[in-house]
Structure formats: structure tokens, C-alpha cells
Structure 1
């Protein structure tokens, strides 16, 4: 995995959400959470696995809505942040945080109703292996997001210390075929890359987001979107 040592550092875990989801990054947080909720639908009493759960912002959100959810991550400090968040919101009885490798998920086949991963595949060195494991332990649904190759993310990606893996639609189709997953629906968003929004105040970001959304609703906007949300079924 790209940046694995960096990701597991204590200081990174402590500052992760403040750096990414303050200022204009609040818009990103809201959109990503809505994408997860739209894809999974009602979650009460569902058994859900979140791969690469990080600090648990999705894990806790779904637990608050009644899911029985397991959050798995390779970073101990990130998981500790998630445990503290779950305890603070009173949902720790609905959540289990586990340290583990996404390439070898420690669960039997068809163990969960839904398996999802956010902000994960752009760091994956063997995406086919990871997706196959997600498919193996899910009996109904697999949901994930990617950064897109033919988008403004390509320009932004050039300047990132770790870079990101970018995907074309052809590569996604090949991954889904290889994992035995069928595409239910896909949503494409964010003409402007995430890094741009994180650099500007929330009030200013809202204006750019309105323009971004308007252009994104056109055929050209969909082709140039920097992020895609892939909802698939087994």
C-alpha cells in the first residue's frame, strides 16, 4: 500500500480529520457520507464491514443508524480514534474495530450483508486482490470509490507526495468482472479535486461547489469528474 508507514503514524491519526474535513473539506465530508447512505440505504440491523475505516467517520455514522458494523484498518492509531469516537457518541455496542490486512480479511465467505471502502483504492497496489476479498466476504453488496484518470485529479496527483492510483472506466469494468461483481449504479462527481476545496474557506468553497455541481450534471462534467462511487452487487 502507498504511504503505509505515513498512514500509521500517531500524529497523522490525530490530525487526519482536522486537515481533510475542515474549511472547504466539510463539503467533501458531507458528500462522501451521503454517497455511502444513498448506496447502502436503510442499515438498521444490517451486518456491515468497512474496509480501511480510518478514524471511523463512516463506521460511527452507520452505527448511529442501527447497523451492526465492523471497521477494519491497518493503523492502530486510526482505530483508536474510531473507538474514542464511537464511545463518545454512545454507539460502541454496535461497532467492532479490528486491526487487519484488507488483502486477507479475517472473515468467512458471505459473512456481511454489505462491504464498503472509501478513500482506499487510490492507495491500493493490488486492487484486484482487495476487491476479490471484499466480494468474498459479502453476500449482497460491495461499494467503493475511486479517483479517475481523465480528470483534474491527474494534474493534482502530479504534485502529491505519495501520488494516487487513478482509474479509467475500462479498468473498473475489468476489476468488477474479475471479482464477479455486477454494477448496480455509478455516480461521478467533483470536477475540482479535493485538495482545492481543502485550501479555501467553507463559505467560498460552497460557491465553487455550486458551479462544480452544475457542470457535473452535463455529459462533459460526468466524463471529467475526478471521483466515482461504484455500487455493485454479488
Structure 2
């Protein structure tokens, strides 16, 4: 994985949410959470695994909604932030955080109803192996997002500390087929890339977000920087 040492640093974990989801980044947080809820619903009682759960944004959110959820991440520092979040929201007894490697998931086959990963595949050096593991431990659903190779994200990708792996739709479809997954649904968003939103105040960002959504419904939507992929185990 790209940037493993950077990602596991205490200072990075402590500032991760603040740097990415303050200012206009709040809109990104809202959209990503809605994407996960829409994909996994109905949530209550469902056994769910989050890959690369980080600070527990989604793990805690789904626990609050009644999911039987486990979050796995390679970073002890990130997991500590997640545990603190779970305690603050009163769901620490309703979820599990595990330190582990997404390439070798410590679960039996077909153990979860749904397995998902957000903000993960752009760092994956061997995406096929990760996706195969996600498929192995899921009996039904695999959900994840990617950053797109034909998008405005390419303009600033080289400025990022670790860069990002960018995917075409055809590559994602090949990966799904190779993992034994069938694409059930897809959606594409954020013609204006994440970095733009994080650079401006939230009230200004909301006006641009309205424009962004409109662009998504036009031919310019083909330049969306983010895609959400909802697949089923074949």
C-alpha cells in the first residue's frame, strides 16, 4: 500500500478528520456517508465489515443505526481515534475494531453480509488481491469507491503526498470479474475534485456543490472524479 508509514503516524491520525472534513470538506463527508448508507441499507442487524476503517467515521455511523459492524485497519493510531469516537457516541459496545491487513483478512469465508471500503483503493498497489479478499469474506455485497482517471483529479494528483491510483471504468469492471463479483449499481460524483472543496469555506462550498450536482446531470458528468461501485458475489 502507498504511504503506509505516513498513514500510521500518530500526528496524521489525530489531524486526519480535521484536515479532510472541515471547511468545504464537510460536504465530502456528508456525501460519502450517504453513499454508504444507501448501499448498505437496510442496516439494522446486518453483519458488516469495513476495510481500512481509519478513524471510524462509517463504522460508528452504522453501529448507531443497528449494524453488527467490524472495522479493520492497519494503523493502531487510526483505530484509537475510532475507539474514542465510538465512546463519545455511546456505541463502543456495539462494534469491534481490529488491527489487521486487508490483504489477509482474519475471517472465514462468507462471514459478512456486506463488506465495504472507502478511501482505500486509490492507495492499493495490488487492487485485485484486496478485492478478492473482500469477496471471499462476503456472502452477498461488496461496495467501494475509486478515483477516476478521466477527471479533474488528474490536474492536482501529482501534488498529493502519496498521489492516487486512478481507475477507468473498464479497469474496475475487469477487477470485479476477476474477483468473482457482478456489478449491481454504480454512481459517479464530484466533477469538482475533493481538493477544491477542502480549500474553501463551507458556505461557499455549498454554492459550488449545487453547481457540481448540476454538472453531474449534464455531459460534463463524464468527468466525475469519484465513482461508487456496488457489487454482488456471484
Counterpart of 2:125 in 1: which secondary structure? coil
1:233 corresponds to which residue?
Answer: 232
- What do residues 105-162 of structure 1 show as CA deviations (whole Å, max 9, x unaligned)? 0000000000000000000000000000000000010000000000001111122121
2:13 corresponds to which residue?
Answer: 13
2:158 corresponds to which residue?
Answer: 158
After the TM superposition, which of the residue ranges 149-158 and 46-55 deviates more from structure 2?
149-158
Counterpart of 1:81 in 2: which secondary structure? helix
CA distance in 1, matches of 2:65, 2:140: 19
TM-score normalized by structure 2? 0.99
- Map 1:1-234 → 2, pairs under 5 A: 1-218=1-218, 220-234=219-233
CA distance in 2, matches of 1:80, 1:161: 23
TM-score normalized by structure 1? 0.99
* 8 Å CA contact 1:25, 1:194 repeated in 2: yes
Structure 2: runs of 5+ lacking an equivalent: none
Figure out how many residues of one structure are paired with residues of the other and give that number. 233
CA distance in 1, matches of 2:27, 2:159: 22
Counterpart of 1:93 in 2: which secondary structure? helix
Structure 1: runs of 5+ lacking an equivalent: none
* 8 Å CA contact 1:156, 1:193 repeated in 2: no
